Structures are given as C-alpha cells and as structure tokens.
Structure 1
Amino acid sequence: MRIGFGIVRVVMAVLTIVAIVAQFVHSANFTRADGGDVGFFAVNFFSFFTIESNVGYVVVLLIGAWFMFTRSGADPEWFSILRAVITTYMVTTGIVYNLLLRNIPLPQGRTLEWSNEILHVVGPIYLLLDWLFAPGRTQLRTNVLWWIASFPIVWALYTLIRGPLAIDKLTGRPWYPYPFMNPATSANGYLSVSFYVLLIAAVILCVGFVILWISRRWPGRSAVAAVETA
C-alpha cells in the first residue's frame, strides 16, 4: 500500500507541475505579445493563493512520496503538520474557486481550462483523499490552527499592501489576484473586501479544524499514540 501511495503522489506532483508551468508559459506568451512586462506578470502569477497552495502541494507530495518509499510507520510530526496546512489551503482553494470564481469571465484564450481544473478541482480532491486514506498520518493538536492561519494572514496583508502599488502598465490600474480583493471594483470598497477576507478566513479555520479533527478521531494506519485533547 505504501509503495502504491508513493507512486500516486509522484504522478499527481508531476501532473501539477505540468499544469503550473503550462499555464505560466501560456499566459506569459500573451503578456509578451501584448507588450506587457513579463517580469511583472511573473510576480503576479506567483501572488495567486491558488498557485502558492499548489506549489506547497507539490512539495508535500514529493516529500510524502519519499517517506512512502523509504520509511515504515508514522511520519514525522512536522510533516503531518505540513500536510494538514497544505491540505487545508488546497481544500479552501477548491471551495472558494467553485463558489466565488468559477463563473467569472476570464480573458479569452489566456486560461488553459485543463490546467485550471487540475489546480482548482483535481488537486484539492486528491489531497483530501490522501489525508483521509494514506498511511503515516499522525494525530495533531488543535493548536496547529495557528500554523494554518499564519500564511493566509500574511498573504492577505501582502495582497492589500501591494495592490495599489502594482500598476499594470497595459491597463493603468492596480493589480489584484482576485476581483473580491480589489476595493476599486467591489461594491462597498474596503468594506466588501473585509467581508470576503473574513469569510475566507472563516472557511480556512473551519476546514483546518475538520482536517485536524480527522487526524484525532480517525487515526492513520501508522499513527502513534493519541495526543491529549487541546
């Protein structure tokens, strides 16, 4: 079973790398053809929470595959924490995309649909299944929620501070990764942005709590002794 999960993790990691690279190259070519700044585009591309979550997803899959091939028994606690964090981000990415972003029109031809589905649907579903069924997961305390919450807070601050400063020379407007983060296009400006930020924060914390609950109430096949209730 461990070897099987290791192989699947490698396959999913490669598939995701291909999806990220293909989308980056495809969009960069459009930017270049339009006379845009490819360097500016590259920073923007890796400022999407989706891309950052999927990069973390690839790292987790490759480390996890290595453990499947080289270890037996429970994973190190730090890796279970990392898995929980990235699983939370990926599941949240899938929820937010499918509830808030799926029906938003995108520039014609700039988005690879197959890549979009891998990054927003296939990846989140697989990592949740991996968390549920792959051996090696250890039980985690609920204070891991602090780790889960830390990066989204930093990302939101970075996005809101950088947004007014990141002027797209093609449009002359500030750049934000998602429409609901842009106070200039939101119905009530920063009030609307604050609402969506708090809503997504609540989703992240709820998903994270469920992920940690699963680790405590449904121990992995190789889980070590139970941890005390936090």
Structure 2
Amino acid sequence: MLNVAKLLPPTVRDLRPRSIVGAVRLALAVTCAMALISRYNWGLGSATFTPNNYYAYLTIQSNIAFTIVTVLAGAVALRSDRDPVWLTAMRACILTCTVTAGIVFALIVQQAGSNTVPIDVPTSDLVLHFWLPPLAVLEWFLSPGRGRAAWRTIVFVLGYTLTWGGLTMLRGATVGWFPYYFLDPGQLSGPLEFIRLSGLALLVFAVVGLAVVALTRYRRTAPGSN
C-alpha cells in the first residue's frame, strides 16, 4: 500500500497535527478579517452607509467574534494538544452564528431575486456568507484536540440572538433603520408575519447549533471533555 506520508517533504511530515490545525485556524481568521475590511470599504461607496449600521449586522458582529476567537484558537493549537472546554464552547456559539447568518443571507438574496429586486453581493459578502462558513465547519469537525461541546451551548446562542434582536428593534425604532427586512415593521404585513419570520430565524439558529454540537459528539477528538 502506498504510504502517502513518505511522499511529503520531511518538514511537512515532522509537523504536529495540532500545528497544522493552528495554521489553518490562523489562515481562516486572517481571511475573515480581510473580508470584513473589504466589506467595510465597499460600503463606504454607498450614500446610505454608516459605520454604526455596519456594526449592527449580526453577520458583522459574529464574524468579528469569529476572527478574534479563531486567532486565540489558533494560538492554543500551536501551544497545546487540546482545546480547553471554554474555548470549544465559545467556538460552538460563534460558528453557529456565522453559519446561520450565511443561510439567512442566502434566503434573503434568493427572495430578493424572486421579487425582481436583486441584491448587489460583493466578493467580501461571498467570503463571509458562503465560502468561510463551510471551511470553518470542516476545520471544526476534523481538528484533533477539539473536545465535545455541551448541548447547553444552544441556550447561549439563542440568548445572544434574542438579545441582539431586542436591541436591534429598539435601535431601529429610534434611527428608522433595520439590518434585515424581516425586522422592519414597515416592510411586513403585520405582527403575524414578524412572528413567523423571526420564529423561523430562531428555529434555524437552534437547528444549526444542534448540528454544530452534534459534530463534536459524532467524532470525539478529546476524550474526557464535556
């Protein structure tokens, strides 16, 4: 049987698996940071763009958190054979938010196109919503030394989402701007549509969160972690 490892250069063969994990995590963080900067610069070309509105998007908030925590996770992987439980919990929460934001954004773009009101999607948005989340999930699933995430992680995800939603509604009522159409009363037919769409969004968060946690239990990489 062909030994693939022998075909690799000695410097690659000698690398610890966790060193590779650390490098991948740092690469993901750098990619995310560059996409965030690019998205900000792209927004500056719009007459309606404001920094406060930019940071109000859940996508932007979750990807900023992703960048920071993934840098930390990369540093941990380079120095340790196992991720601490608290880091796994943080990453599970943030990964749930980034993946869900991508799904919701895809639905918004699809619906806008169906209504003949296409949304201009820059490359930075493609990276943040469609390219980075699958790569992050793949790294999450395959990384050695990543322990099991607790099911109660879902509670924190939903808690953050509800808090963000409540604050966004209060801010929107004050400044007259909402980051997503399903939160804007002016674009909805009434309270029932708001409840239906918001409930659907929460359901997606919960399902994605369950899937993220389940991945850590399907392939347990750090026995003894909870």
Same fold per superposition (TM over 0.5): yes
CA distance 1:64–1:145, change in 2 (3 Å): same
Is 2:31 the partner of 1:22?
Answer: no
The answer on whether the counterparts of 1:140 and 1:212 sit within 8 Å (CA) in structure 2 is yes
Once the 2 structures are TM-superposed, how far is the Cα of residue 112 of structure 1 from its aligned partner?
Answer: 5.9
The 5-angstrom pairing of residues 58-97 of structure 1 reads 58-72=67-81, 74-97=82-105
Which digits, 9 at most, give the CA deviation of each residue in 1:95-117, with x for residues without a partner? 1111233453467xxx5621010
CA contact (8 A) 2:63 2:128 kept: yes
The correspondence of residues 133-172 of structure 1 with structure 2, limited to 5 A, is 133-166=142-175
CA distance in 2, matches of 1:12, 1:86: 14
Residue 124 of structure 1: how far off its partner (Å): 1.0
CA distance in 1, matches of 2:121, 2:206: 30
Q: Distance in 2 between matches of 1:197 and 1:17?
A: 29
Pairwise CA RMSD of aligned residues?
1.8
1:208 corresponds to which residue?
A: 209
Moved more, 199-208 or 8-17: 8-17
1:28 is displaced (CA, Å) by 2.1
**Contact 2:158 2:206 (8 Å CA) reproduced:** yes
| 8 Å Cα contact 1:179/1:185 also seen in 2 | yes
Q: Deviations over 1:174-212 (max 9, x none)?
A: 2110112111111x2232122111101111111111211
Partner of 1:225 in structure 2? 224
Q: Percent identity?
A: 25
Give the counterpart letter for 1:210 in structure 2.
A
User: CA offsets, 1:72-125, max 9 Å, x none?
Assistant: 1x2111000011101111111121111233453467xxx562101001011211
| Closer, same or farther: CA 197–103 of 1 in aligned 2, 3 Å | closer
Q: Secondary structure at the match of 1:184?
A: helix
Q: Which runs of 5+ in 2 are unaligned?
A: 1-16
**Greater shift after overlay, 137-146 or 57-66?**
137-146
Partner of 2:107: 99
CA distance in 2, matches of 1:146, 1:175: 28
How many aligned positions are there? 206
Q: Do the aligned partners of 1:93 and 1:124 also contact (CA within 8 Å) in 2? A: no
Could you report, residue by residue, the CA deviation over 1:118-151 in whole angstroms, capped at 9, with x for unpaired residues?
A: 0101121111111111122112331222112111
TM-score (norm 2): 0.84
Distance (Å, rounded) in 1 between the aligned partners of 2:39 and 2:219: 37
Q: Does 1:196 align with 2:212?
A: no
Q: TM-score, normalised by structure 1?
A: 0.83
Counterpart residue identity of residue 67, structure 1: V
Q: Which runs of 5+ in 1 are unaligned?
A: 167-173
